[in-house]
Chains A and B, each alone.
Chain A
Amino acid sequence: MLTRYVVTDLWRNPRRTLSALIGVSLGIGLFCGVLFFVDGLSASMTQRAVQPLALDMQRIVTEKAADGITLTQQVEGTGVLRPGDRTWVDLTVRNDGEVQSNDVTIRSMPADGLNFVVASAALDGQPITGFSDNPLASGQGKAGFNLGTLAPGATHSIRYAVESASETQLDDSSVASTYSSRESVLPVAANRAASAGLTDLATRISELPGVAHASELSFADLGSDALTTASSTAFGPTRIFGFDEAYAGNDETISIVAGGLSAEGAVVSAEAADALGVAPGDPVTVALPDGSELELEVTGVADLSRSRSLFSSRRGGDLETFIYSRNAVIVSPPLFAERIFPAYERAIAQEGAGRFKNPPLREIDITVDRELLDADPATAVGETRAIAAEVMGVAAPSPDHLLDNITNTLDVATGDASTAKSLFVFLGVPGGLLAAILAAYSGSVLAHAQRREQATLRIRGASRRHLLRMLAVRTGLLTSVGAIIGLVAGYFAASIILGQESLARASSASLITSAWIGTLGGFLATGLALYLTGRRSIDQEINEDRALLRERAPLWQRLRLDLVAVAVLVLGTVIALRMNAFSGQSGSVYFGRSVELNLALLFLPLAAWLAGSLIIARLTGGVLTRLRPPSRPTFGRPAPGLVRRSVGRRPWAISTGTIVVSLIVGLAVSLAAFTASYDAAKAADARYANGSDIKISPSPTSSLTYAAGDAEVFRTEHISEVTPVIYGVNNVILRSARTSDPASLAAVDPSGFAAVAPVDEAVATMLTGLEDDPNAILVSEEMADYLHAEVGDPLFVLLVRSTDEQVEAQMTIAGLFERVPGFPDGADAVMNISTHTELVPSKNPDFFLAATGPDEAALVQAVDELRVGPASADTLQIDTRTTTLDRDQSSLAALNISGLVTLDSGFALAMATVTMVVFVFGILLQRRREYVTLRAQGLGHSTVRSLISAEAALTALAGALGGILVGGVMGYYFVMVLRPLFVLTPEYILPFAELVPILLLVLGATLVSSIVASRLVNSLKPTELLRDE
């Protein structure tokens, strides 16, 4: 009965029903939309995170050159050894290599439960004497037994007895034996499986499930000037590679620009080919470390200048640093195994391993089948770990080690994903709060409008319990339908913004969980808000406390919640500043860490939002109250007089509406400010990493050379400034009075660089110093610290090191910098390019930096101009701040923040519209009797309409202006809290141009709802004042 009455009531009052329903639907829609958005975004994080990886996994084969030792271990007997029983251990060590091994040391220790039998050890049948205990693990350090030098083919046998101290099961682990040598310092376990060939290993790994490709790669750094022809030399170090066409085909950064790979010939780098003046068909000679020479026919020329897989450092300290070698030779894997590797073995045997800082490195480079990885990085990381275990399980046990880049990357991505989820859910929290607030607001308006009906029902015998039950049914129906509509709206909104494909990648389980959380959470929040406001209204009706209510300020103002919120905000900000909590830690795949956001700080923007909106409402109420005229019978024109008295004597309707509008507009403004600041900061980060708007790098295969003075070649209509840069990783040796170290030096034109690169003020000042003093050099604080050098100290710089033109210059340290833009691999020193050119005239710039200005269109046009201009005649690599930003997957940069903001803003603005509609209809419902009376007194429709419109406009204007202020502060807090997302300190941007549409929308919604309301005013019939008959 009650349900039927409520359903009928809802059906017959469509405006009230729709107002509440749309409010609830929008709130739940936003909440669900954010959750679905997070699902969709998380579902693509794996792919985005691994996309820039050059190599997924590298199994580094640790069998060194000059390591042909094998150690076998055998324990006599099987089964259980009783206490006091003895058995024998036999060890055989053999050098199967082609060269001798020095200081071969054998270490062998019985496991727990077995004791070495003193004086039982024998070498080649002769007792080992002079040891009081196990000679194979003697002394405190348990040092092994040094056999000395093992010539190729030499064999030794060692035998010793062990006695059981307790009942012991005999097996292979009963004794642990290893060997090591001067050439192979790390101990190698006995009974190691015969080393599988690289090709065999690659084949077996490539067959593992989850592995897309596995190819062998060998490389070695030859000495200086190792690559020659009969008439010329490629000066500087040469790196020689061994890989096949499959490897090259799997890495698009390896570009064979002429000829191709072959079994017996060599492909040389474009720079080497240029230095030697060779082409396919010509012979070259490679000097090997053992003094022998390898004559090869050039079968191809390659551009390897961007191949991170070949030149990324494999060392732990500077993992993934791109250390390029201009001179490179590629041979087939069999040729590398037959000629290069043995040459190193011989050289190490002759001169010792110490001579070679980088002995040949052999590895299997593995590409994981990324399509099979779970979309969520947290799950995918488990999958890649399993693949890594499988990879290391091939030919196990093995001392090889694995560089698991993909797992490391996914670990970082997992951290980022977790941060992103927290961040996004947090950004969704205001939406959820708004949902509840809007529902409460709609509910209060609805409840107020029903007071008369409720009074009538009470007169007809309805008790408080009846009314509450009806309220519960009404709330349940509205929130149920609203939840379903909201769920659908949220899904479609997320799908439109993210794209159906992204959302489809999310797992059904996560989508279903989000749907449950969104609808249930939204149902409870909005339902509770609707119910509680309705219940309060019922109790007020019952209390008949109308006069008191009119006089009393709202609860939040009586409790001074606004002032409490401001105090909390100020206190929280002071504490955060004192604790330096806003600084956080930036993320980096290279450093293996994800962004660290102090999410506890996110309460600050929330506090600013709530406190600001309440303060705005208090101020609005205060101002309106001050406008209240004193009681006078002279009325003047009815409409203005009525409005002034209405807003002055009952400002709470407007101030309550102002709170809601301010919250909504504040959220939209803060998100707009955050997005603008975020985009600008990320663009600044990318420009900083790129060096400027455009970076133009001549290709090694280029037929043209570009000297420093050729910068003007790249000037186009949209490129205002171009400057040359000489740079290389470890391209110089810096020597101070105390020490020296290889360093990465950048030579720049001080004024040109300052004009195109985003240098900070300190660096700009130092660059001026470079211009004034040609012998000045700037050094990074870190390098200066290492060199124990200070400003004013002399510094010797060995330019173009390891080339025939290397020259040492004495310079003076003119300044210390923290970092300079344009060098992702780091710059340790900066000098004037003019000085560099004077000292090394043949050295051309490595790249040019060009400025186009902040306009995106200008950047695109400038790139087009370069492509049809200089790049049409030559191979130029053009990197822009945009392409650099696209490649930046190292932190949360890849997050679709703007998508979330669009989602939030879209719903927020829809809510603002609904709020104004609810406000206008609320006024109409609450003051219907007043308006009808005024009509009966002789006021026209237009006057009554103007009364509604004036109050609505005041609410919209106060709320919108207040919201802009509140949103500005809230946005600032957002940027402060999320500062670790950025490399550079972000500049706060309040996008005024984007605020205009927000203002227009809110005012437009007010206007439209006022117009609609005016139609309802027209239908007001004064006869309803006459007594019911």
Chain B
Amino acid sequence: MNLADNSVSARDLVVVYRTARGTVPALDHRSLEVEGGGSVAIMGPSGCGKSTLLGLLGGLARPTSGSVTIGGTEISSLAEKARIQFRRENLGMLYQQDNLMPHLTVEENVGLQLAIARPGEQPDGDVHALLERLGLAALADRLPDQLSGGQRQRAAIARAVIHLPAVILADEPTGSLDPDNAERAIDTLIDSQRKIGATLVLVTHDPKIAARADSIIALEQPIPNDAATDAD
């Protein structure tokens, strides 16, 4: 799926969850514009919809209303299979936990993402070069349990960028790291993002981390609203 550019655009996004006690708004008419290759940090109090927004941008969920467009493709209107394919090829995901496959070595975790995104390619060189650049070459054949938290998160960053995604979505990527490792991880992330020219959307609570982004968007707590429709 070829993209026109790396820009990310979200318009008037609404997400409402239906519960036994009525409907709960998770996101209330939010919009977002990020230029291709730029980075944006999303901040806000707990429950304001940061991660929900990230899920919509990553095509992991569909909004109740509104649209998400990445590189000219409106992913919010894509069918499930198309969204999966879009995500596979164009997005890199990073989470608070590393979520590495515990039975795969570092290079295999990274290689798996490449195999998923570009099946049939022989990526030895790409993977090794990336691991070298991220300081993980010596740990390439280690399993995640044999790594420190910071090393695991860097391996997760490698996995998120190996397939040269158009957009990197990161949800509190330093949330479970100590300050030193957090600093190093965010350096690695931003460095990698810039190297591949991807657009970065970063959800964080940490102002210091947010400050590393080109811009910051602050979200507020949505007002309960019974009139909205269901979320996906």
Contact = CB atoms under 8 A, between A and B. Distances in A.
B108 A550 contact: no
Nearest to B127: A633
Nearest to B95: A1025
Interface stretch (B32-40, B71-79, B80-88): B80-88
Contacts of B85: 938
B28 interface: no
B87 A938 contact: yes
A1022 interface: yes
Given A939-B116, A1029-B46, A1029-B51, A631 B99 contact: no
A1026 B47 contact: no
B80 to A, nearest CB: 9
Given A1022-B60, A1026-B171, A938 B116 contact: yes
A634 B111 contact: yes
A632 interface: yes
Interface string A635-664: 111100110011001100000000000000
B198 to A, nearest CB: 16
A937 interface: yes
Most buried by A among B104, B107, B146, B171: B104
A673 B56 CA distance: 60
Contacts of A1028: 51
Nearest to B175: A1027
A1015 interface: no
Contact of B84 (A546, A637, A649, A938): A938
Given A936-B87, A938-B116, A1023-B61, A1029 B107 contact: no
A1029 B27 CA distance: 12
Q: Which of B46, B50, B116, B141 has the most CB of A within 10 A?
A: B116
Interface in A906-956: 929-930, 933-940
Interface string B48-59: 111110110010
Contacts of B145: 546-547, 550
Nearest to B47: A1029
Contacts of A636: 115
B102 interface: yes
Contacts of A930: 101-102
A439 to B, nearest CB: 27
Contacts of B102: 550, 650, 930
Q: Which of A633, A635, A1028 has the most B CB atoms < 10 Å from its CB? A: A633
Nearest to B169: A1026
Contacts of A1029: 46-52
A642 B104 CA distance: 8
B104 to A, nearest CB: 6
Given A936-B93, A1027-B172, A650 B103 contact: yes
B115 A641 contact: yes
A508 to B, nearest CB: 49
Contact of A637 (B46, B55, B95, B115): B115
B163 to A, nearest CB: 9
Interface in B190-219: 203
A929 B96 CA distance: 13
A934 B113 CA distance: 9
Given A637-B119, A937-B93, A938-B117, A631 B88 contact: no
A1021 interface: yes
B105 interface: yes
B45 to A, nearest CB: 9
B60 A1027 contact: no
B205 to A, nearest CB: 9
Interface residues of A, number: 35
A951 to B, nearest CB: 11
Contacts of B99: 929, 933, 1025
A940 B104 CA distance: 19
A632 B146 CA distance: 17
Interface in A515-547: 546-547
B182 interface: no
Most buried by A among B105, B108, B159: B108
B93 A635 contact: no
Contacts of B46: 1029
Most buried by B among A649, A936, A1027, A1029: A1027
Contact of A632 (B48, B87, B107, B159): B107
B119 A937 contact: no
A641 B115 CA distance: 10
A641 B114 CA distance: 13
Contacts of B123: 633-634
Nearest to B142: A631
Given A550-B102, A936-B60, A1027 B96 contact: yes
A237 B83 CA distance: 105
Contacts of A1027: 51, 95-96, 171-172, 175, 203
A1028 B46 CA distance: 9
Interface in A1000-1029: 1021-1023, 1025-1029
A1023 B55 CA distance: 6
A1026 B42 CA distance: 14
B60 A1021 contact: yes
A1023 to B, nearest CB: 4
With most chain A CB atoms within 10 A of its CB, the pick from B81, B102, B127, B171 is B102
B167 interface: no
B121 to A, nearest CB: 9
Given A938-B84, A1027-B171, A633 B51 contact: no
A934 B159 CA distance: 12
Contacts of B140: 631, 633
Contacts of B51: 1023, 1026-1029
Contacts of A1023: 51-52, 55, 60-61
B180 interface: no
B111 A633 contact: yes
5 contacts: A631-B140, A633-B124, A635-B108, A649-B103, A1029-B46
Given A929-B99, A1029-B47, 10 more contacts: A631-B108, A633-B128, A637-B115, A638-B116, A938-B88, A939-B116, A1022-B58, A1023-B51, A1025-B97, A1026-B55
Closest 4 CB pairs of A and B: A938-B88, A633-B111, A635-B115, A633-B127
Interface of A: 546-547, 550, 631-638, 641-642, 645-646, 649-650, 929-930, 933-940, 1021-1023, 1025-1029
